[in-house]
Structure 1
Amino acid sequence: MSIVTRTALAAVLAVGLPLAAHACPDYGMNGAGLNYTSDQAYTPRAHSVTAGGSVNLAGCPQPGHGYVATAPDFTMQFSGNGMGRALEFRVEGSCDTVLLVNDARASWYFNDDDQGIDPRIRIGNAPEGIYDIWIGTFDSNLCSARLIVETF
């Protein structure tokens, strides 16, 4: 290690700066693209996903607990909701899953165990726009799951 590298490393350690930032869910990133109108989602739409990730929500400003990925699993464009329908996201998983959503107004929603060990979030009079959706797990293991999107 060169003297310059050692000096730079010592400076970082001396001021207590972390060498790597802690990752948290980032709605600035994109997941798999979905695009539904309120009418299209009136019929339930299911999408397979691997639930979980390496980000522990306990260390993040977002609500909830469990493990998710940094990038959302899905980024959904929602439109045509002039009727003011509720938009529901629910998960069916082969393990204990959690659900984190950032809506079109940048509000965060979290749910765990709404339907047994499966989560569900229903947003009344859902705003049109972009929704970012994370499907996580209660523990740090991964499992297969399905996201279901539906309007009511």
Structure 2
Amino acid sequence: MKTIICALTLTATLALPGATLAQNPGLRANYGEISLRAGFTPDPYRVSMAAGGGIDVYTDTPLPANCVGNITAAPDFEVTYTAGSLPLAFRTVSDRDTTLVINAPDGSWWCDDDGFGDGDAEVRFNRPQSGTYDIWVGTFGGGTAPATLLITETP
């Protein structure tokens, strides 16, 4: 699977009549939330979860075609982050092929499949914004799978 990272703002898409998001950052996160400040410990911060869900990002969302995986409507995890000078990265680790969909504080959407290698995803913000990051951990090819979300400032 090829590494694909995308970012976009859905303002224009959402302005279209009848346009809705299958994924909803306003819902309570499936596996909780945390507030982190630059320099947080432990690093990486780890969250165990079941990746995947019934929404096919490719066919059921207005995200671009290079965003893939199966996710739930609610984010899997929510991070409220106070930025400093360090980068911020979100990574997945699983025995299955996992994907990431992230709604950044500015409303932009970021996606990855295999950026962390061997079927694991990574989205990295070199100059992260302070604010809320809603994170979905998906599975490539459907179903669910045990996974760990890693939140780190270490490249």
Could you state the TM-score of these two structures normalised by the residue count of structure 1?
0.80
Residue identity in the other structure for 2:113: D
Distance 2:20 2:56 in 1: 10
What stretches of structure 1 of length at least 5 have no aligned partner? 1-20
SS in 2 for 1:105: coil
Quick one: percent identity of the two aligned structures?
29
Match of 1:28 in 2: 26
Per-residue CA deviation, residues 104-130 of structure 1 (Å, 9 max, x unaligned), is 111100000111110011011100000
Per-residue CA deviation, residues 91-116 of structure 1 (Å, 9 max, x unaligned), is 00121111111111111000001111
Contact 1:41-1:150 within 8 A present in 2 as well: no
2:37 is aligned with 1:37:
yes
Deviation at 1:88, TM superposition (A): 0.1
SS in 1 for 2:58: helix
Per-residue CA deviation, residues 35-85 of structure 1 (Å, 9 max, x unaligned), is 111110572111101000000112211241110000000011101x232x2
Write out the 4+ residue segments of structure 1 that deviate beyond 2 Å after TM superposition: none
Q: Aligned residues, how many?
A: 130
Contact 2:21-2:62 within 8 A present in 1 as well: no
Q: How does 1:1-20 map to 2 (within 5 A)?
A: none
Distance 2:84 2:99 in 1: 30
Match of 1:96 in 2: 97
Find 1:68's aligned residue among 61, 68, 71: 71
Tell which structure's C-alpha radius of gyration is larger. 1
Distance 1:130 1:35 in 2: 9
Could you state the TM-score of these two structures normalised by the residue count of structure 2?
0.78
The structure in which a higher percent of residues are helix is: 1
